[in-house]
Structure formats: structure tokens, C-alpha cells
């Protein structure tokens, strides 16, 4: 469903600040894949997502979505198919709008252009969906989202993204800014939604244990390249020391990401 062909990205090309962030990436993502992505700092993980979402255009290569070449398609058009959640919990929802208004906006997107009104039936639908988060938000439809905690906002962002029926979900360290309890909660919801709705997903994480434990396929990036791509039993049987050792034997140097190494 997504294909990256010979993708490269150079920032500030031709200047003293020239920086090659991505080198010749070839990647095919199949429907139903749940890919975890791990890598050292500056490996190019977020840049890869920016190239997939259309935030940046590649310097070389092409991006295909459902076999159509979308390399030059603007981000806002691609966003109809791609849902993205960032580390910053403020980005997925509008603070100065009520919970029900936020959900209305995402319904308009999910219903692909059909205008719907906020009636009793729709409020009931929102309440039912919010109950699944188990955070009591179903009783706060009239509250401004700016009043909610980071964990509540991120769970809401997740729910709204699921309701908008994306073809591809990009999770960019979306639990990294939360306290451990809320991070676990939002990650649990993420895994549940991905499973229940069979969402094709890519998740960047600095937690090696999560990268191994969750998902169907694991990519390791380093210096702009995908250096490891494992799935099936090979992925299931991985351990953190093995992953570090695989990095060392491929790159002939140590894996440098304290956050990832300290994760359990
Ligand atoms: N807009 C930009 N302009 C210039 N350089 C950029 C830009 N965005 C990213 N880079 C550079 O591209 C490289 C890859 O950065 P990227 O943010 O993709 O790494 P990452 O793997 O997501 O890192 P981290 O785990 O630290 O978030 C880095 O050298 C970074 O400085």
C-alpha cells in the first residue's frame, strides 16, 4: 500500500550546512503491517515520516501510495489517507474548542466530505467511542480540550485518528512526552486500536523493548539508512542485547542511544 523507491533527502543542499538525512531507502509497507522503528539519535526516523506524510519532498526517489505516485502531492491532500501523531500532545487537538467540536471535525474527515450535524444520535455515538478510552471523557463533551491532561489529549488524538479511518498511521514517539503511567495507557490503547481496526501502522520508539514486543515488523535505522528489517519469528525471538549486537556487527561501532539502551 506504501512504497518508497530509492528515496534520499539532503537538507540545505549546496550550502555549508548541507546535510544528508536519508540515503537510498527502499521500503514496501503492506496492508496490516505494524512496523516499529528504532534507531540512534539523528538516524532519520522523523525525516522518513516527513517524507511519507508529504511534509518534505525527497531530494531523490519516489513515494507511492496505493500504487499512485504521490511524490509531489501536498501534505494536506495526503493527510486524507495518512494519520499522524506526534510527541507533542498539543498538536492533535484544538485546545480552544470543545471535545464535541473536536470530534465533529474528525467526523467530517472520516465521512469523506459528507456534511453531518451534531444531533443527539451523534453525541451518543461520540459518548460510546469515548467510553472505550476509559478516562471519563464521555461526560466532558462540552469541556474545552485545553483543560485535559497530556495523556487524555493523546488518547483523544488517537481515537479521533482511528475514527477518521486512515489508510496508514504514523506514530512519532507519541508516548515519549507522557509520564510512565499515561505512556503505558496510551500505548495500550494504540495497540488495541491497531489490532481491532487492522490499521497499517508505523511507530517510532526509543524503547527497544516496545519495538520488539509490539508490531509485526521491526526496522532499525542508522545515519539515514534502514540497516535491519525483521519480522515473524525472527522479530518475536529478538532480545535487546541481540539487537545491540546486530547493530554492532552491521555498523562496526556501538549503538548510541542511551534512552533506548536503558529501556526495559
Ligand atoms: N528541517 C531540517 N533542516 C535541516 N536538517 C534537518 C531537518 N530535519 C532534520 N534534519 C537533520 O536530519 C537528520 C535526521 O534527523 P531526524 O530528526 O530525522 O532524526 P531522528 O532519527 O528522528 O532523531 P531523534 O531520534 O533524535 O528524534 C539530522 O542530522 C537532523 O539534524
Note the pLDDT tens digit of each residue in 145-169: 999 999 999 999 999 999 888 999 9
| ipTM given for this complex | 0.97
Of all protein residues, whose CA lies closest to atom 26 belonging to ligand 1? Answer: 41
Residue list, ligand 1 pocket, CB within 6 Å: 11-12, 19, 21, 39, 41-47
Distance 28 CA to ligand 1 centre (A): 22
Sorted by sequence, the CB contacts under 8 Å of residue 7 that are 6+ apart come out as 22, 24, 25, 26, 27, 51, 58, 60, 61, 62, 63
Residue 118, C-alpha cell as written in the block: 451534531
Other CB atoms within a 10 A radius of the CB of residue 63 amount to 23
Q: Which residue has the higher pLDDT, 213 or 249?
A: 213
Instruction: For residues 169 and 85, give the distance between their C-alpha atoms in angstroms, rounded to a whole number.
Output: 8
Range of the domain at 41: 2-262
Task: Report d(CA 204, CA 210) in Å as an integer.
Answer: 10
Residue 260 pLDDT: 60
**What CATH number is associated with residue 155?**
3.40.50.300
Residues ≥6 apart with Cβ < 8 Å to 20? 8, 9, 10, 11, 224
| Lowest pLDDT segment from 68-77, 193-202, 213-222, 240-249 | 240-249
pLDDT of amino acid 113: 47
Distance 227 CA to ligand 1 centre (A): 17
Tell me what the mean pLDDT of segment 6-28 comes to.
95
Q: What pLDDT score was predicted for residue 54?
A: 95
Count the domains in the chain.
1
* Atom 28 of ligand 1: nearest residue by CA position: 42
Q: Which helix (H) or strand (E) holds 85?
A: strand 82-85
Secondary element (H or E) of residue 128: helix 120-131
Q: What is the pLDDT of residue 120?
A: 80
pLDDT at 69: 96
Amino acid at each position: 500500500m506504501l512504497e518508497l523507491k530509492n528515496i534520499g533527502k539532503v537538507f540545505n543542499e549546496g550550502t555549508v550546512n548541507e546535510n544528508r538525512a536519508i540515503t537510498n531507502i527502499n521500503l514496501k509497507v503492506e496492508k496490516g503491517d505494524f512496523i516499529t522503528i528504532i534507531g540512534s539519535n539523528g538516524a532519520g526516523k522523523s525525516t522518513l515520516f516527513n517524507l511519507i506524510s508529504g511534509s518534505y519532498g525527497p531530494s531523490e526517489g519516489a513515494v507511492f501510495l496505493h500504487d499512485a505516485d504521490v511524490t509531489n502531492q501536498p501534505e494536506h491532500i495526503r493527510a486524507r489517507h495518512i494519520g499522524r501523531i506526534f510527541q507533542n500532545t498539543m498538536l492533535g487537538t484544538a485546545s480552544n474548542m470543545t471535545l464535541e467540536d473536536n470530534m465533529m471535525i474528525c467526523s467530517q474527515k472520516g465521512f469523506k466530505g459528507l456534511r453531518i450535524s451534531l444531533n443527539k444520535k451523534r453525541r451518543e455515538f461520540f459518548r460510546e467511542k469515548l467510553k472505550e478510552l476509559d478516562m471519563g471523557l464521555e461526560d466532558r463533551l462540552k469541556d474545552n480540550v485545553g483543560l485535559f491532561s497530556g495523556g487524555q489529549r493523546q488518547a483523544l488524538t488517537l481515537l479521533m485518528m482511528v475514527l477518521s479511518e486512515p489508510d496508514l498511521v504514523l506514530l512519532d514517539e507519541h508516548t515519549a512526552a507522557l509520564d510512565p503511567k499515561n505512556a503505558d495507557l496510551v500505548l495500550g490503547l494504540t495497540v488495541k486500536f491497531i489490532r481491532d481496526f487492522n490499521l497499517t501502522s508505523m511507530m517510532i520508539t526509543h524503547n527497544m523493548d516496545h519495538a520488539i514486543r509490539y508490531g509485526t515488523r521491526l526496522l532499525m535505522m542508522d545515519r539515514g539508512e534502514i540497516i535491519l528489517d525483521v519480522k515473524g519469528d525472527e522479530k518475536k525471538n529478538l532480545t535487546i542485547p541481540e539487537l545491540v549486537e546486530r547493530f554492532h556487527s552491521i555498523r562496526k561501532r556501538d549503538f548510541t542511544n542511551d534512552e533506548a539502551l536503558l529501556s526495559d
